[in-house]
Amino acid sequence: MVRRALPVTLALAAILVVGLALQEEGSAQTRGGGPGQPVEVVNFPEVQKVEVRGTPRQATLVDFENQTVSAHGSRRDPGSWRHVGTLNTDGFGWVVLSLGGELQGVLTEPGAAVAVLVPDQAPLLRALKEDVVLLFPLQATATLVPGHEYFTSQPERLPVGFPRYQVYLYNTSARTIEAHLYAYLGN
């Protein structure tokens, strides 16, 4: 039995060696069947350097400072709101809104300073102006307390859903305020 296995093993080994030799010869040929040719690339660019100066920005701060906002504003009356600008949020995923400021005069009853960001889309702005309906707003609210000269909101991180927002401020107290809105945009 050992004698029969030896010739079979030798035959299989010979077939394997011949197959490997043919495979190496075939790999040295091109698809067209001819022998492979060495190639030298003469116009290959050298290693390219890229230099970044400073820190790449992942976030930015936009401020709407020193905004005088009249007294007796109301959420139900967008005509009493102060338009302070446009916030470009394109490319950012979230915004942290922080609203603060100073009362002008003495406050006897509590009130609120409110920042409202309305998406800069024609149908949404029309709904606000014509029907007093806020669609997809971002908002920050600061409570105005009698006996306190300054006010501040809690910073709140909000998801951004539109590339631009129109920014409005209103004040429900009986005194004019000087407001500062900070929008910290990030990813």
d(CA 173, CA 148): 13
Query: Following CA atoms 37, 40, 44, 46 in sequence, which dihedral angle do they give, to the nearest 10 degrees?
Result: 140
Q: What are phi and psi of 122, to 5 degrees?
A: -50, -50
pLDDT class for 23, splitting at 50, 70, 90? low
The model's pTM is 0.70
Structure tokens at 68: 């005088």
Query: Following CA atoms 27, 31, 33, 36 in sequence, which dihedral angle do they give, to the nearest 10 degrees?
Result: -60
Parent domain of 76: 59-186
Total domains in the chain come to: 1
pLDDT tens readout for residues 87-139: 999 999 999 999 999 999 999 999 999 999 999 999 999 999 999 999 999 99
pLDDT tens readout for residues 41-100: 777 667 767 777 776 679 999 999 999 999 999 999 999 999 999 999 999 999 999 999
Q: Is residue 8 part of a domain?
A: no
Q: Is the pLDDT of residue 11 over 70?
A: no
The CATH number of residue 137's host domain is 2.60.120.380
